[in-house]
């Protein structure tokens, strides 16, 4: 019987692991799921080797492989590998709206910044570029969702847009969380604004001043952190 992709990635990660690092990595990430002890660079090296040459006939087949690794993971690095598989070159054409339910599962189930931010800033951004109208509507819905991580994802989905940032869309995604006391939402707001400040620092100053009564101190500090460097 052929070895499954999920089993193969588990075995290769285990071979690359330094078990002495595992407990420290788990403690740093405050993770209930244990680590094998594979840091980012060797983890990506393993993924590159295992995933080289993979191809799929359609998005459904690709999603099946991603979710098999994600759902079957016993160690956190396996879930990192599932996220790596979402970004391989052969999957570029699959970054469309029909992949969003998969990413939603990973975001909601993962429920921590290391998973969520990688998906939001990379994969959701790709879908936004490929299916803009439908994805904007979905992210606007997520921005008011009861799940904090979906809200964070909506705020961060344009983080790589630079001058192509749709400001009305960004502000609409931020708006439902302006009064939130959740650290990860406040931080996301500040991060999104700080990134846009590299493009238009005056606009970020204006927005922060106009919303000073509602923006948390954390969001304001993060938003304005690099403004002086951007002028």
Mean pLDDT of each 10-residue bin along the chain, 231 residues long: 84 97 97 97 97 96 98 97 97 98 98 98 98 98 98 98 97 97 98 96 96 97 84 56
- Residue whose structure tokens are 């000073």: 212
Residue 102, burial from CB neighbour count under 10 angstroms (0-12, 13-18, 19+): buried
Domains of the chain and CATH, by start? 1-93 (1.25.10.90)
d(CA 57, CA 230): 45
- Rounded Cα distance, 227 and 193, in Å: 10
Of the candidates 192, 150, 197, the one whose C-alpha atom is nearest the C-alpha of residue 171 is: 192
Question: pLDDT > 70: what percent of the chain?
Answer: 97
pLDDT at position 229: 67
- Does residue 46 contact residue 59 with C-beta atoms inside 8 Å? no
Q: Is the pTM of this model over 0.75?
A: yes
| 206 Cβ contact partners less than 8 Å away, ≥ 6 residues apart | none
Which pLDDT tens digit goes with each residue over 90-149? 999 999 999 999 999 999 999 999 999 999 999 999 999 999 999 999 999 999 999 999
For residue 1, what pLDDT is reported? 43
The pLDDT value recorded for residue 203 is 96
């Amino acid at each position: 019987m052929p070895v499954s992709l999920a089993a193969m990635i588990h075995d290769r990660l285990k071979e690359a692991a330094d078990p002495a690092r595992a407990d420290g990595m788990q403690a740093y990430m405050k993770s209930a799921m244990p680590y094998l002890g594979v840091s980012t660079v060797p983890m990506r090296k393993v993924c590159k080797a295992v995933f080289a040459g993979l191809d799929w006939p359609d998005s459904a087949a690709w999603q099946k492989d991603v979710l098999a690794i994600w759902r079957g993971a016993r160690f956190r690095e396996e879930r990192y590998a599932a996220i790596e598989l979402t970004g391989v070159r052969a999957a570029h054409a699959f970054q469309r709206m029909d992949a969003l339910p998969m990413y939603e599962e990973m975001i909601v189930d993962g429920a921590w910044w290391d998973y969520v931010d990688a998906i939001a800033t990379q994969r959701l951004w790709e879908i936004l570029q490929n299916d803009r109208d439908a994805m904007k509507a979905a992210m606007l819905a997520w921005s008011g969702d009861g799940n904090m991580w979906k809200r964070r994802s909506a705020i961060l989905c344009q983080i790589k847009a630079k001058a192509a940032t749709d400001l009305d869309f960004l502000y609409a995604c931020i708006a439902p969380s302006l009064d939130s006391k959740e650290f990860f939402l406040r931080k996301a707001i500040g991060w999104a604004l700080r990134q846009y400040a590299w493009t238009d620092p005056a606009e970020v100053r204006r927005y922060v001043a106009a919303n000073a009564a509602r923006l948390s101190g954390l969001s304001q500090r993060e938003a304005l952190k690099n403004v002086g460097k951007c002028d």
